[in-house]
A = this chain, B = another copy of it.
Amino acid sequence: MSETTVAVLGTGLMGAPMARNLLDAGFGVRAWNRSRSKAEPLAEHGALVFDTPSEAVAGADVVITMLSDGPATSDVLFNQDVAGAMKPGAIVVDMGSIKPAEAKDHAERLAQNSLLYIDAPVSGGTRGAEEGSLAIMAGGEASVFEAAEPVLQAMGRPVHVGPSGSGQLAKLCNQVIVAITIGCVAEAMLLMERNGGDPAKLRDALKGGFADSTILQQHGERMTTGNFVPGGLSRLQVKDLDNALEVMAQANLRLPMAELTRERFDRLVSELDGGELDHSALYLELLDINGLRAES
């Protein structure tokens, strides 16, 4: 058993399996979730479950936040007194997806409380969280990254990409690629289907070639079987793409494909009621603009 204690704040679709992997790796886990019912099942696996985040972080060496966005994370850290309840020198590892500027702000404010911080958002979805195979993009001081690395390795493959905020910047790059790749896989699936081809054979044939990707194999299959149980939520793609475009707009730069993809995810969410569907449901938006109805 490790002597390192980890608090996990936010045990939803991603946080819960991540906490499970920490428990399996021998870490002591103290869990909190706004809806306590989502944290309760972790107790069976040895986690301590708390009613407030400040109770959960007491004595923890590492505090993982896995919350919906920057304001939610900031609220928990600073308004619900997590920062005040942590032991000096402990590390906040923010694994949620927030803006790079918010991550830098959190790093500065926590430093004033003698607390350390890395931003370490993830890619790989619920499957990656369950398998402990998440891509983890970490920004912050190298020494803090190294201190947190054994904890991160229990959940996936951490890479230190640069100073505070860099992890979130890398995550935005990740999301730009993921969102647009979903869009192009959707177009390929439609092109194949509407001309009498078999999308399953297509995915097999493309394995190992330049067009191959996890998204082609996993999300491509979701599109043709109509399985849009999340996974990654469509509405979060809009948030992530907005954040990427905002970072670029601040530098007077444009990302035309991200812009188009952002518009289409927004349409999926706002007009087609797809916000709670897996992001592979962008296929439904493609069907819709082509006057085709989803067959399910």
Residues of A near any B CB (own CB < 8 A): 100, 122-125, 128, 133-138, 157, 159-162, 166, 169-170, 172-181, 183-185, 187-192, 194-198, 201-202, 204-216, 232, 244, 247-248, 251, 253-258, 260-261, 264, 286, 289-290
Taking a contact as CB atoms under 8 Å apart, the answer to whether A181 and B178 are in contact is no
Contact present for B254 and A205 (CB under 8 Å):
no
Q: Is the CB of B170 within 8 A of A253?
A: no
Which residues of the partner chain B approach A133 to less than 8 Å between Cβ atoms?
A: 208
7 A-B pairs within 8 Å (CB atoms) are namely A123-B210, A135-B206, A135-B212, A177-B185, A187-B255, A209-B214, A212-B214
State the Cβ distance, A188 to closest chain B Cβ, in Å.
4
Sorted nearest first, the 4 A-B pairs with minimum C-beta distance are A135-B209, A123-B209, A180-B184, A159-B205
**Chain B neighbourhood of A192, CB < 8 A:** 169-170, 173
Interfacial chain B residues near A214, Cβ < 8 Å: 209-210, 212
The answer, among B169, B208, B248, for a CB contact under 8 Å with A124, is: B208
Contact partner of A170 (CB less than 8 A), chosen from B172, B206, B257, is B206
Q: Which residues of B contact A176 (CB under 8 A)?
A: 184, 187-188, 191
Docked-complex contact A210 and B215, CB < 8 angstroms: yes
On whether the beta carbons of B177 and A184 are closer than 8 Å, the reply is yes
**Which of A124, A173, A175, A204 lies at the interface centre, i.e. has the most chain B CB atoms within 10 A of its CB?**
A173
A253 to B190, CA, bound (A): 9
Q: How far is the CA of A255 from the CA of B287 in the complex (A)?
A: 10
Minimal Cβ-Cβ distance residue in B for A185 = B177
**Smallest CB separation, A174 vs chain B (Å):** 4
Residues of B close to A204: CB separation below 8 A:
159
Please report whether the interface of chain A is mostly helix, strand, loop or mixed according to DSSP.
helix
* B209 engages A191 (CB within 8 Å): no
* A135 to B281 alpha-carbon distance, docked (Å): 27
Additional 12 contacts, C-beta under 8 A, given A174-B211, A187-B257:
A162-B196, A170-B201, A173-B206, A174-B210, A177-B181, A180-B181, A180-B183, A180-B257, A209-B214, A212-B213, A255-B286, A260-B260
Task: Give Cα A195 to B177, complex, Å.
Answer: 17
Alpha-carbon distance A117/B212, docked complex (angstroms): 27
A73 to chain B, nearest CB (A): 20
The reply to whether A289 and B207 form a contact with Cβ atoms under 8 Å apart is no
CB-CB under 8 A from A244, the residues of chain B are 191
CB distance from A290 to the nearest CB of B (A): 5
Min distance, Cβ A271 to any Cβ of chain B, angstroms = 15
> A214 vs B213: C-alpha distance in the bound complex, in angstroms?
8
Query: What chain B residues lie within 8 Å of A134 (beta carbons)?
Result: 209
A190 contact set on B, CB distance < 8 A: 253, 255
Known: A169-B197, A170-B205, A191-B173. A211 touches B159 (CB 8 A): no
Known contacts A210-B124, A256-B264, A205 near B161 by CB under 8 Å: yes
